Every structure is written in C-alpha cells, then in structure tokens.
Chain A
Amino acid sequence: MTPALVRRRVSTVVLSAIAIVVFVASVFPVYWMLNSSFLPNNAIRGPVPHFWPDEFTLRNYETVLGDGGRAPFLPALMTSLTVTLITVAAALLLAFLAALAVTRFRFTGRRSFIIAILLIQMIPGEAMIVSTFRVLDGWQLLNTIAGLTIVYVATVLPFTIWTLRGFVGGVPIELEEAAMIDGCTRMQAFRRVTFPLLAPGLVATGVFAFIQAWNEFLLALVIMQRPDMMTLPVWLRTFQQATQTTNWAAIMAGSTLMAIPVIIFFLIVQGRMTSGLVAGAVKG
C-alpha cells in the first residue's frame, strides 16, 4: 500500500471510531432510561449497575400507572392529552386563517403583522409568568383546562403562523386559478386543490405544536398548581421529587411514558426541521 492509501485507511478508522463515540454518547441516556425502567428497583440500587435488563420486569410501569397516591399518573395523562390536542386543533385553525391572509392577500399592515409575530416569539416566557398568572387569576381560569389551553394556543400561535405561512406560500396560486377557470368556486378550488397539497404542511406544523404543548413545563407549573390538575411534566417532577430517594426505577418508567410520544412524533417530522434555513441562507 502506498503511504497515501495507508493514511486514508487510518483516518477512516479514526473517523469511524469517533462516529461510534458520538452515537453512544447521544443514545446512552435514552438507553439508560429504558434499561432502568425495565429492571426491578432493588436491582438498580446495587453496587454494580445492570447494563441490560437481565431481570426484565414491567413492575415499574404497574407502579406508575397504578399509583393513586400523591402523584397519580393517569389524571395527569388525561389533562396533558386534552390540553395538547385542543391546543393543536385551535392553533392550527387560527394559524391557518392567518397564514391565508398574509400569503394570499396584499393589504396594509401585512408586513407589520408578520414582524409582530416574529417579535412576540422573542418574548421570553419566563418574563411573562407573573402577569399571565394574574390575568388568568382575574378570569377565574387558574387550574382549568381552558386556562392552560388558551395560554398554550397563544404560545404556539406565532410559530405555527410563521411555519404555515411558508407552506401556504409554497402552493402556487396558479393552481387555484386554474381550478376556478375550470368552473370551481373559490371555496371549491381551495378545498379540492390547495388543501390536499397543504396537508403535509398542516401535519408537520401540528406535530410541532403537539411537541411544544406536551413538553411545556414552566407555565403548567405556574397555572396548574392543584395536584389534580397537573400536566405530565409537572407530574413527572412531583413524582421524581417524591420518590427519588426510594424508587428511581419507577421514575424512569414514568419518564419513558412521557418521552415516547414525543420521540415518535419528532422522528416523523424531523426532515422538515433543517431544510428551510439552509435553502434560504446559502444563496450568496
């Protein structure tokens, strides 16, 4: 072998080794969560960790699902599901209407509206907890599904409008016009031509909104203070605080239950995450 070839071989081996290290470092915590959740609690509290679930058990999941004590899982799951699903539906509807307005029409204030959307997105939620709490309190909306949902809708709305704006703008208006020339009304043209083309965009945006609402922690912590109104993130923290000295295995089972839907959804839409930025930014 020539020296150049040897060098290339060596660098391939080194790079592959680094790649494996990156993979292991990324995956290990997720693996460790799953692994611990499938082991008996006394097994993970031993001097030597079990690196695979050799004493496989589902008892931790039973503990989490059956716990009716200080932090019951199922009511939190129901609250989270309700809030998240209503948030997704409402945000998609409102954002879709707004996206139509800013892509299909020219009007005064259009530019200002879009800039306002961007600016609102930059207001840190941490700063808003006090006044949001006070405003909701004034309307008797603390510890209610409606209260948290409407806050979440407003929270994800700027982002959903921005994203849908891109998708709606990507469907050429000429298609709609052609349908109208062929005899469709504006509504029909929209429903039969534009809407099907938009469906993937709506799904992607909806999934983003779902992940955000599902994971949101701070506002839920402030707005849903009553134990029976906890969302899953607040539940997980309460549960972890209550059991971390005794039962990490159950905490890992709870973490798994909370993380799985997000991970699945995330994998579905990940392809959309990076394409936009690059398409725009590397022109010059």
Chain B
Amino acid sequence: MAVAPLGTRAAPTSATAGPPANLPGDRERDRDRDRIARRDRRGRRVVALTPAMLLIPATAVLLVIIGWPLVQLLVISFQEFGRAQVFGAPAPFVGFDNYADVLGDATFWEVLGRSILFAAANVILAMGLGTLVALLMTRLARALRLLVSVGLLLAWAMPALTAVVVWGWMFDTQFGVINYLLSQLPGVDMIGHSWLIDPLSFFGVATVIITWQSVPFVAFTIYAGLTQVPTEVLEAAQLDGANGFARFRFIVFPYLKSIFLVVTILQVIWDMRVFTQIYALQGIGGIREQTSTIGVYIYQVSVGSGDFAAGGAIAVILVVIMMAISAYYVRASIKEEQL
C-alpha cells in the first residue's frame, strides 16, 4: 500500500532512487555468489535458512498489515456491512449485490468520470509543462539553471497538505493575493470572488496546485534524460537541416520514450487516486457532492456515511483499475532490473 510514496509524489519505486542494481556482467557475479553460498554450506542448514530468516520480519509485517486487510476488504465487499455490523451485528453474505448497487449508481459513474477527466487534464498539463521546463533547463546558463532548479525543488518539497493550505490562502475570497493581483488589471475587480464554489473553478484551483507540485518531478526526470542524449547525433541532425521541433520529435523523443512512458504512468497513478488535495480543498470551501474524486468518494461513503460494504466494493474496483494502469510500469521495472 503505497499511500505515502505515491501520494506525496516524493519518490516513486524503482524509477528513481538508488543506483541501478544490476549492471551488465552481473551474471558472472551471480555465479560467484552461488559459489560463495555453496562454499558457505559447511554449516549447510544455516545457510539454506538465512534468506528466509532475513525475509521473515518484513514479510510478516506486510502480510499482517497489508495482506490481511486486503482479504478483509474483499470479504466486506461481498457482505452487507453498515453501521450495525460495526457494532457487532452479523454480516450476511450478499454475493455481488454491493457491486451491482455501486455499478448501478449514477453517482459512482459521475465520480469515476470526473476522476478520469481530472487526472487526464493534470497529466497532460504536468507532462507538457514539465517537458518544456526540462528543455528550457538544457538551454540556460549555469547560474539561471541553478536558480530554476532551486525553485522547482522548493515546490516539490512542500508537503501536499501544506501546499493546499497555502494555495487556499492565496486564492482566499477576501484577502487572497491572487484576487488582489488580478484586480490590478484595468477593468477587473475580483475582490470577493470565490474560486472554490463553482466546481469547474474548484478543479481549476486543484489543477494549479497539483501541477505546481508535479512539474518539478517531470522536469527533473526528463532533464536528466535529456543530458544523456548524445550531442553528436543532435549536431549531425542540425547540420542536415533539422529544426528544433524535428530534432525533438525524431531524436530526443525516441531516446527518451521509456522515460516519458514511465513518468506518464506514475502521474496517471498519482492523479487518479488524488485524495489530500481534493479533501483539504473541500474543507477550505467547495461543494463536496460536486467535487469528489474517487479517493475522496471512498472516504465519504465508508467513513462518512458508514456504508462499509459499498465503500469496500468501490475500493476493490479502484484497486483493479490501478493494477491495470500500473501493469506496464511493473513489467517495465521487472525487465529493467533483469529480475
């Protein structure tokens, strides 16, 4: 359950942290390692047991805290489970009733559609702006590049909740700096304008916040990729008369295709399950019914209204959707690491 890592946009799994584990020529080393393992088998049993012993603590925690609730979630989604069951009433199995109810509920489809649209808009914006900023960074002088990097890092480092609170203050109806600055334009008076009441405008604000926090990751990752594109190839293309766009389209993009794909998938995953930003923004002002995305909806249905069965069914549906989206990412990670 990668709530935090993926939620905070701090650190996606395989994609970022740490040096690459397996370098080419590793096979030989693997063989050496086997040899060592065998050599160690003077105390035969001990060595055979060791990896298991090392894995037991982590596996136990994961099984108990992730595995068991996951099983529970599946079970609940097939039961009648409301407030009464929380207080000990028996929970009868109802087959696929919960799923039928959820899938027959117009609100669910509305929320799902909203989440998909919102995620799509945010992913496109973050990828587009992030790529542009990355390209910009390759063409800046050292000092300016450092300046931009520092700015991006600060935006990236802000905790998601703090970011929402601060932006909420900037967008404040009465005293927000944004309304003030806009009102300085001739003929514009925005003082007293509420940005969060209208759902579309609410999602506009949410998009600003999320884009502000996602562009740094996209920009840094793609910039790092750009620095790996061989300059000789680019120069040759330039000599052959390729303009900037053509060079990006036919040389840079193919080189960075796998990076683009992985980053896009991570963004889709993050934006589809967005919770903190929407939930906190609703608390600042905004109409819950018209602005919930799927993560917030699960919270409202289960914790808010106490319908754990429906919440469970929606949660299982979300897990399935997320697994389908991340399948490529997981496959790519496995391939990249030559497992």
Contacts and interface: CB of A to CB of B under 8 A. Distances in A.
A10 interface: no
Majority SS at the chain A contact face: helix
B144 interface: yes
Interface in B24-75: 29-30, 32-34, 36-37, 40, 50-52, 54-55, 57-59, 61-62, 64-66, 68-70, 72-73
B11 A273 contact: yes
Interface stretch (B94-102, B106-114, B119-127, B161-169): B161-169
A208 B17 contact: yes
A122 interface: yes
A278 B334 CA distance: 16
Contacts of B253: none
B37 A105 contact: yes
Contacts of B166: 29-30, 32-33, 252, 255
Nearest to A238: B283
Interface residues of A, number: 124
B18 A167 contact: yes
A123 B330 CA distance: 12
B61 to A, nearest CB: 5
A63 interface: no
A217 B299 contact: no
A79 interface: no
Contact of B159 (A19, A214, A276): A214
B10 interface: yes
Nearest to B5: A159
A278 B308 contact: no
Nearest to B191: A47
A276 B19 contact: yes
A241 B66 CA distance: 32
A36 B339 CA distance: 51
Contacts of B302: 129-130
A93 B318 CA distance: 32
A263 B336 contact: no
Given A154-B1, A266-B157, A276-B16, A110 B51 contact: yes
Interface string A150-184: 11111111110111111101101110010000000
A280 B65 contact: no
Contacts of B316: 127
B303 interface: yes
A100 B52 CA distance: 11
A122 to B, nearest CB: 4
Chain B interface size band reads 35 or more
A159 B2 contact: yes
B208 to A, nearest CB: 10
A219 B3 contact: yes
A165 B284 CA distance: 41
Contact of A98 (B54, B133, B279, B323): B54
A98 B334 CA distance: 18
Contacts of B162: 33, 236, 255, 258-259
B268 to A, nearest CB: 12
Name the residue among B62, B148, B223, B339 with the largest chain A CB count within 10 angstroms: B62
Given A124-B318, A156-B4, A166 B154 contact: no
B118 interface: no
Interface string B136-161: 10011100110110111111111111
Contacts of B52: 101, 107
A164 B259 CA distance: 22
Interface in A232-284: 233, 236-237, 240-241, 244, 248, 251-252, 255, 258-259, 262-263, 266-267, 270, 272-282
A248 B175 contact: yes
A97 interface: yes
Contacts of A236: 161-162, 165
A4 interface: no
B160 A30 contact: no
Contact of B161 (A110, A237, A244): A237
A125 B133 CA distance: 31
A158 B151 contact: no
Interface stretch (B197-205, B233-241, B269-277): B269-277
A15 B66 contact: no
A49 B180 contact: yes
Nearest to B60: A94
Given A44-B175, A130-B312, A166-B20, A118 B30 contact: no
Contacts of A277: 14-16, 221, 224-225, 259, 262
Contacts of B284: 240, 244
5 contacts: A26-B148, A128-B315, A158-B62, A215-B7, A222-B303
